[in-house]
Amino acid sequence: MLHNSLNSVACLSDAQTRSISPENLTGEPGKGAMTPAAEGTAWKAARDLGDGWKVNPYLLMPPGEVTVLADIRGSGTIQHIWMTSGSGDWRNQILRIYWDGSDIPAVECPLGDFFACGWGQYAQISSLAVCVNPGKAFNAYWAMPFRTRCLITMENRTEEVVPLYYQVTYELGEVPENAAYFHAQFRRVNPLPYKEVFTLLDKIEGRGQYVGTYMAWGVNNCGWWGEGEIKFYMDGDQEYPTICGTGTEDYFCGSYNFDVGGQYTEFSTPYSGLSQVIRPDGAYRSQTRFSLYRWHLTDPIRFRKNLKVTIQALGWRSGGRYLPLQDDLAAVVYFYLDKPASVLPPLPDKDALEII
Protein backbone atom coordinates (compact mmCIF):
# COMPACT_ATOMS: atom_id res chain seq x y z
CA MET A 1 0.00 0.00 0.00
CA LEU A 2 2.94 2.31 0.58
CA HIS A 3 4.68 1.43 -2.70
CA ASN A 4 4.12 4.18 -5.26
CA SER A 5 6.33 2.89 -8.06
CA LEU A 6 5.12 2.47 -11.62
CA ASN A 7 5.22 -1.28 -11.10
CA SER A 8 2.78 -1.21 -8.18
CA VAL A 9 0.28 0.94 -10.09
CA ALA A 10 -0.62 -2.11 -12.17
CA CYS A 11 -1.38 -4.27 -9.11
CA LEU A 12 -4.93 -4.63 -7.82
CA SER A 13 -5.54 -3.77 -4.17
CA ASP A 14 -8.27 -4.00 -1.56
CA ALA A 15 -7.60 -0.40 -0.54
CA GLN A 16 -10.26 2.23 -1.19
CA THR A 17 -9.41 5.65 -2.60
CA ARG A 18 -11.03 8.66 -0.95
CA SER A 19 -10.54 12.40 -1.26
CA ILE A 20 -11.47 15.31 1.00
CA SER A 21 -12.06 18.81 -0.33
CA PRO A 22 -14.50 21.62 0.46
CA GLU A 23 -16.88 19.82 -1.89
CA ASN A 24 -16.71 16.64 0.24
CA LEU A 25 -15.52 17.43 3.76
CA THR A 26 -15.79 13.83 5.00
CA GLY A 27 -14.51 11.94 1.96
CA GLU A 28 -17.47 9.57 2.21
CA PRO A 29 -18.62 7.70 -0.91
CA GLY A 30 -21.32 9.45 -2.89
CA LYS A 31 -21.15 12.59 -0.73
CA GLY A 32 -19.34 14.96 -3.10
CA ALA A 33 -20.87 18.16 -4.49
CA MET A 34 -23.81 17.98 -2.07
CA THR A 35 -23.59 21.51 -0.65
CA PRO A 36 -26.85 23.35 -1.42
CA ALA A 37 -26.23 26.13 -3.92
CA ALA A 38 -27.45 28.81 -1.52
CA GLU A 39 -24.94 27.74 1.16
CA GLY A 40 -21.79 27.38 -0.95
CA THR A 41 -18.84 29.74 -0.90
CA ALA A 42 -19.29 30.22 -4.66
CA TRP A 43 -23.05 30.62 -4.50
CA LYS A 44 -23.00 33.85 -6.50
CA ALA A 45 -21.12 32.25 -9.40
CA ALA A 46 -23.41 29.19 -9.33
CA ARG A 47 -26.69 31.01 -8.79
CA ASP A 48 -27.88 30.37 -12.35
CA LEU A 49 -26.92 26.68 -12.27
CA GLY A 50 -28.08 25.37 -8.90
CA ASP A 51 -27.14 22.30 -6.87
CA GLY A 52 -24.45 19.89 -8.04
CA TRP A 53 -22.35 22.46 -9.87
CA LYS A 54 -19.19 24.20 -8.62
CA VAL A 55 -20.86 25.48 -5.48
CA ASN A 56 -18.33 25.11 -2.64
CA PRO A 57 -14.77 24.95 -4.05
CA TYR A 58 -13.05 26.63 -1.09
CA LEU A 59 -13.33 27.25 2.64
CA LEU A 60 -13.20 30.61 4.36
CA MET A 61 -10.80 30.57 7.31
CA PRO A 62 -11.72 33.24 9.90
CA PRO A 63 -8.85 35.29 11.35
CA GLY A 64 -7.38 33.94 14.58
CA GLU A 65 -9.14 30.59 14.30
CA VAL A 66 -8.22 26.97 13.61
CA THR A 67 -10.11 25.28 10.76
CA VAL A 68 -10.43 21.51 10.47
CA LEU A 69 -9.54 20.45 6.93
CA ALA A 70 -9.83 16.68 7.33
CA ASP A 71 -10.77 14.24 10.09
CA ILE A 72 -10.33 10.69 8.86
CA ARG A 73 -11.15 7.61 10.96
CA GLY A 74 -9.73 4.15 10.34
CA SER A 75 -6.42 3.06 8.87
CA GLY A 76 -4.89 4.28 5.66
CA THR A 77 -2.31 6.51 3.99
CA ILE A 78 -2.38 10.12 2.83
CA GLN A 79 -1.03 10.05 -0.74
CA HIS A 80 -1.31 13.62 -2.01
CA ILE A 81 -2.07 17.04 -0.56
CA TRP A 82 -2.84 19.98 -2.87
CA MET A 83 -3.44 23.48 -1.52
CA THR A 84 -3.60 27.07 -2.66
CA SER A 85 -4.37 29.98 -0.39
CA GLY A 86 -6.09 33.26 -1.10
CA SER A 87 -3.52 35.05 1.08
CA GLY A 88 0.17 35.46 0.33
CA ASP A 89 1.02 35.59 4.04
CA TRP A 90 2.02 31.93 4.10
CA ARG A 91 4.07 32.25 7.29
CA ASN A 92 0.92 32.99 9.29
CA GLN A 93 -1.10 30.03 8.05
CA ILE A 94 -0.03 27.11 10.22
CA LEU A 95 -0.55 23.57 8.94
CA ARG A 96 -0.85 20.84 11.58
CA ILE A 97 -1.33 17.08 11.19
CA TYR A 98 -2.12 14.72 14.07
CA TRP A 99 -1.87 10.93 13.98
CA ASP A 100 -3.97 8.34 15.84
CA GLY A 101 -5.56 10.64 18.41
CA SER A 102 -2.37 12.33 19.60
CA ASP A 103 -2.74 15.77 21.18
CA ILE A 104 0.68 16.73 19.81
CA PRO A 105 0.92 17.36 16.07
CA ALA A 106 3.47 15.40 14.07
CA VAL A 107 3.44 18.20 11.50
CA GLU A 108 3.49 21.85 12.58
CA CYS A 109 4.72 24.24 9.90
CA PRO A 110 3.86 27.50 8.21
CA LEU A 111 2.09 26.73 4.96
CA GLY A 112 4.73 28.01 2.55
CA ASP A 113 7.68 26.49 4.38
CA PHE A 114 6.05 23.04 4.46
CA PHE A 115 5.87 23.19 0.66
CA ALA A 116 9.46 24.51 0.34
CA CYS A 117 8.40 28.12 -0.33
CA GLY A 118 9.51 29.97 2.77
CA TRP A 119 9.86 33.51 1.46
CA GLY A 120 6.21 34.19 0.64
CA GLN A 121 6.98 34.33 -3.09
CA TYR A 122 6.20 31.77 -5.77
CA ALA A 123 9.03 29.61 -7.09
CA GLN A 124 8.64 26.62 -9.39
CA ILE A 125 9.64 23.31 -7.77
CA SER A 126 9.72 20.08 -9.75
CA SER A 127 10.66 17.35 -7.30
CA LEU A 128 9.32 13.93 -6.37
CA ALA A 129 8.20 14.84 -2.85
CA VAL A 130 7.02 18.43 -3.41
CA CYS A 131 5.82 20.29 -6.50
CA VAL A 132 4.98 23.98 -6.60
CA ASN A 133 3.25 24.97 -9.81
CA PRO A 134 1.86 28.18 -11.33
CA GLY A 135 0.39 30.38 -10.00
CA LYS A 136 0.89 29.28 -6.35
CA ALA A 137 -0.19 25.63 -6.22
CA PHE A 138 1.35 23.58 -3.40
CA ASN A 139 1.61 19.79 -3.78
CA ALA A 140 3.05 17.21 -1.36
CA TYR A 141 3.49 13.53 -2.24
CA TRP A 142 4.94 12.24 1.04
CA ALA A 143 3.35 8.93 2.07
CA MET A 144 1.65 9.51 5.43
CA PRO A 145 0.27 6.31 7.02
CA PHE A 146 -2.07 6.27 10.02
CA ARG A 147 -3.76 3.46 11.94
CA THR A 148 -6.82 4.90 13.67
CA ARG A 149 -7.16 8.59 12.80
CA CYS A 150 -5.75 11.48 10.78
CA LEU A 151 -6.61 15.05 11.73
CA ILE A 152 -5.47 17.97 9.55
CA THR A 153 -6.01 21.59 10.61
CA MET A 154 -4.98 25.08 9.50
CA GLU A 155 -4.59 28.02 11.89
CA ASN A 156 -5.15 31.43 10.33
CA ARG A 157 -2.91 33.87 12.21
CA THR A 158 -3.54 36.67 9.73
CA GLU A 159 -5.97 39.50 10.35
CA GLU A 160 -8.16 38.68 7.37
CA VAL A 161 -10.56 36.00 6.22
CA VAL A 162 -8.52 33.65 4.02
CA PRO A 163 -10.02 31.51 1.23
CA LEU A 164 -8.37 28.08 1.09
CA TYR A 165 -8.69 25.63 -1.78
CA TYR A 166 -7.39 22.15 -0.99
CA GLN A 167 -7.68 18.44 -1.70
CA VAL A 168 -6.41 15.55 0.43
CA THR A 169 -6.30 12.22 -1.40
CA TYR A 170 -5.82 9.03 0.61
CA GLU A 171 -6.33 5.29 0.70
CA LEU A 172 -8.27 3.46 3.36
CA GLY A 173 -6.89 0.01 4.07
CA GLU A 174 -4.40 -1.98 6.06
CA VAL A 175 -1.13 -0.31 7.00
CA PRO A 176 2.00 -2.48 7.19
CA GLU A 177 3.26 -3.16 10.70
CA ASN A 178 6.62 -1.56 9.93
CA ALA A 179 5.11 1.65 8.49
CA ALA A 180 6.31 4.70 10.43
CA TYR A 181 4.60 8.04 11.04
CA PHE A 182 5.43 11.11 8.96
CA HIS A 183 6.71 14.18 10.84
CA ALA A 184 7.67 17.72 9.79
CA GLN A 185 9.10 20.34 12.15
CA PHE A 186 9.81 24.04 11.59
CA ARG A 187 12.48 26.26 13.14
CA ARG A 188 13.52 29.86 12.54
CA VAL A 189 16.35 31.96 14.02
CA ASN A 190 17.00 35.58 12.99
CA PRO A 191 19.80 36.35 13.43
CA LEU A 192 21.81 33.26 14.23
CA PRO A 193 23.98 34.13 17.25
CA TYR A 194 27.67 34.56 16.47
CA LYS A 195 29.63 31.27 16.49
CA GLU A 196 26.50 29.18 17.09
CA VAL A 197 25.30 26.37 14.84
CA PHE A 198 21.74 26.19 13.57
CA THR A 199 19.78 23.27 15.00
CA LEU A 200 17.62 21.57 12.39
CA LEU A 201 16.35 18.76 14.62
CA ASP A 202 16.90 17.78 18.24
CA LYS A 203 15.76 15.41 20.99
CA ILE A 204 14.13 12.92 18.64
CA GLU A 205 13.83 9.61 20.45
CA GLY A 206 12.90 6.34 18.78
CA ARG A 207 13.51 4.48 15.56
CA GLY A 208 13.06 6.06 12.18
CA GLN A 209 14.55 7.73 9.15
CA TYR A 210 15.34 11.30 8.19
CA VAL A 211 14.02 12.01 4.70
CA GLY A 212 14.31 15.70 3.89
CA THR A 213 15.47 19.24 4.57
CA TYR A 214 14.12 22.56 3.34
CA MET A 215 15.86 25.83 4.18
CA ALA A 216 14.96 29.47 3.64
CA TRP A 217 18.37 31.10 4.00
CA GLY A 218 18.60 34.88 4.26
CA VAL A 219 22.13 36.27 4.00
CA ASN A 220 23.07 39.21 6.23
CA ASN A 221 26.67 39.58 4.99
CA CYS A 222 28.34 40.14 1.64
CA GLY A 223 30.12 37.21 0.06
CA TRP A 224 29.61 33.46 -0.05
CA TRP A 225 27.59 31.96 2.80
CA GLY A 226 27.64 28.19 2.31
CA GLU A 227 30.89 26.82 3.76
CA GLY A 228 29.15 25.28 6.76
CA GLU A 229 28.78 21.54 7.32
CA ILE A 230 25.64 19.57 8.17
CA LYS A 231 26.03 17.00 10.94
CA PHE A 232 23.87 14.04 11.96
CA TYR A 233 24.26 12.89 15.58
CA MET A 234 22.55 9.54 15.96
CA ASP A 235 22.15 6.61 18.34
CA GLY A 236 24.15 8.00 21.21
CA ASP A 237 26.61 10.31 19.44
CA GLN A 238 27.84 13.03 21.79
CA GLU A 239 30.53 15.52 20.78
CA TYR A 240 31.12 14.16 17.29
CA PRO A 241 28.56 13.06 14.68
CA THR A 242 28.33 9.87 12.67
CA ILE A 243 27.57 11.71 9.40
CA CYS A 244 29.29 14.97 8.53
CA GLY A 245 28.94 16.79 5.22
CA THR A 246 31.57 18.90 3.48
CA GLY A 247 29.66 22.12 2.84
CA THR A 248 26.20 23.60 2.51
CA GLU A 249 25.97 23.56 -1.28
CA ASP A 250 27.44 20.04 -1.28
CA TYR A 251 24.68 18.77 1.01
CA PHE A 252 22.06 20.30 -1.28
CA CYS A 253 23.71 18.41 -4.16
CA GLY A 254 25.38 21.40 -5.81
CA SER A 255 28.99 22.54 -5.86
CA TYR A 256 31.24 25.60 -5.99
CA ASN A 257 28.72 28.14 -4.68
CA PHE A 258 26.01 27.15 -7.20
CA ASP A 259 27.99 29.52 -9.46
CA VAL A 260 27.76 29.46 -13.24
CA GLY A 261 29.42 32.40 -14.97
CA GLY A 262 29.58 34.47 -11.81
CA GLN A 263 25.88 34.09 -10.96
CA TYR A 264 23.90 31.90 -8.56
CA THR A 265 22.06 29.43 -10.76
CA GLU A 266 18.66 28.10 -9.72
CA PHE A 267 17.78 24.45 -10.35
CA SER A 268 14.99 22.06 -9.39
CA THR A 269 15.49 18.29 -9.70
CA PRO A 270 13.70 15.23 -8.28
CA TYR A 271 15.85 15.04 -5.14
CA SER A 272 17.41 18.48 -4.60
CA GLY A 273 17.30 22.08 -5.66
CA LEU A 274 18.23 25.70 -5.26
CA SER A 275 14.70 26.58 -6.22
CA GLN A 276 14.75 30.29 -5.52
CA VAL A 277 17.24 33.17 -5.41
CA ILE A 278 15.73 36.51 -4.40
CA ARG A 279 18.19 39.17 -5.52
CA PRO A 280 18.61 42.75 -4.25
CA ASP A 281 16.88 45.38 -6.39
CA GLY A 282 19.06 48.37 -5.53
CA ALA A 283 16.48 49.86 -3.18
CA TYR A 284 14.57 48.32 -0.28
CA ARG A 285 15.11 44.69 -1.20
CA SER A 286 18.65 44.78 0.12
CA GLN A 287 19.42 41.15 1.03
CA THR A 288 19.91 38.03 -1.08
CA ARG A 289 17.68 35.14 -0.05
CA PHE A 290 17.72 31.48 -1.02
CA SER A 291 15.41 28.46 -0.97
CA LEU A 292 17.07 25.04 -0.89
CA TYR A 293 15.70 21.51 -0.59
CA ARG A 294 17.21 18.04 -0.28
CA TRP A 295 15.06 14.90 -0.21
CA HIS A 296 16.58 11.63 1.08
CA LEU A 297 14.17 9.43 -0.87
CA THR A 298 16.69 6.89 -2.12
CA ASP A 299 19.15 7.46 0.74
CA PRO A 300 17.11 7.87 3.96
CA ILE A 301 19.23 8.43 7.06
CA ARG A 302 18.15 5.64 9.39
CA PHE A 303 18.51 5.82 13.16
CA ARG A 304 17.62 3.33 15.89
CA LYS A 305 17.55 5.31 19.13
CA ASN A 306 17.80 9.07 18.68
CA LEU A 307 18.71 11.83 16.26
CA LYS A 308 19.99 15.41 16.29
CA VAL A 309 20.87 17.42 13.16
CA THR A 310 22.75 20.73 12.94
CA ILE A 311 24.19 22.91 10.19
CA GLN A 312 26.89 25.56 10.38
CA ALA A 313 26.59 28.99 8.77
CA LEU A 314 30.02 29.98 7.49
CA GLY A 315 31.37 32.52 5.05
CA TRP A 316 34.83 34.00 4.46
CA ARG A 317 36.72 36.82 6.08
CA SER A 318 40.20 38.33 5.69
CA GLY A 319 43.24 36.09 5.72
CA GLY A 320 41.42 33.12 4.22
CA ARG A 321 39.55 32.52 7.47
CA TYR A 322 36.03 31.24 7.98
CA LEU A 323 33.47 33.84 9.09
CA PRO A 324 30.72 32.59 11.44
CA LEU A 325 27.58 34.15 9.98
CA GLN A 326 24.62 35.74 11.73
CA ASP A 327 22.05 34.96 9.06
CA ASP A 328 18.27 34.64 8.94
CA LEU A 329 17.70 30.87 8.91
CA ALA A 330 14.43 28.95 8.71
CA ALA A 331 14.05 25.25 8.07
CA VAL A 332 11.60 22.39 7.84
CA VAL A 333 12.87 18.87 8.46
CA TYR A 334 10.93 15.80 7.35
CA PHE A 335 11.31 12.41 9.01
CA TYR A 336 9.51 9.18 9.85
CA LEU A 337 9.30 7.87 13.40
CA ASP A 338 7.98 4.75 15.10
CA LYS A 339 5.52 6.85 17.15
CA PRO A 340 2.78 9.32 16.20
CA ALA A 341 4.25 12.28 18.12
CA SER A 342 7.63 13.62 19.20
CA VAL A 343 9.12 16.61 20.99
CA LEU A 344 8.21 19.79 19.09
CA PRO A 345 10.21 23.01 19.12
CA PRO A 346 8.14 26.02 20.23
CA LEU A 347 6.43 27.67 17.27
CA PRO A 348 7.54 31.33 17.00
CA ASP A 349 4.94 34.07 17.40
CA LYS A 350 3.86 36.32 14.52
CA ASP A 351 6.68 38.81 14.96
CA ALA A 352 9.31 36.07 15.14
CA LEU A 353 7.89 34.43 12.01
CA GLU A 354 7.72 37.62 9.98
CA ILE A 355 9.81 37.94 6.85
CA ILE A 356 11.59 41.26 7.35
pLDDT in tens, 227-260: 999 999 999 999 999 999 999 999 999 999 999 9
* pLDDT number for residue 4: 56
pLDDT at residue 180, as a whole number = 98
Cβ count near 176 (within 10 Å): 11
The predicted pLDDT at position 1 comes to 44
Q: Which pLDDT score is estimated for 8?
A: 81
Tell me the mean pLDDT in the region 319-335. 98
Return the percentage of the chain with pLDDT > 70, whole number: 98
Pairing of strands 272-278, 306-311: unpaired
Domains of the chain, start order: 1-6+15-179 (2.60.120.1390), 181-344 (2.60.120.1390)
Is 90 exceeded by the pLDDT of residue 98? yes
pLDDT at 7: 73
Q: What mean pLDDT do residues 118-145 have? A: 97
Q: Is 102's pLDDT higher than 90?
A: yes
Mean pLDDT of 110-125: 98
Report the pLDDT averaged over residues 90-114: 98
Q: Are strands 208-218 and 263-264 parallel, antiparallel or unpaired?
A: unpaired
What is the Cα Rg of the chain in Å? 21
- Rounded to an integer, the average pLDDT of 132-154 is 97
Of the candidates 1, 354, 340, which has an alpha carbon nearest to the alpha carbon of residue 172?
A: 1
Interval 205-222 mean pLDDT: 97
Query: For residue 9, what pLDDT band results from cuts at 50, 70 and 90?
Result: confident
Q: Is the pTM of this model over 0.85?
A: yes
pLDDT at res. 5:
67
Mean pLDDT (the chain, rounded): 96
Q: What is the pLDDT of residues 265-284, one digit of tens each?
A: 999 999 999 999 999 999 99
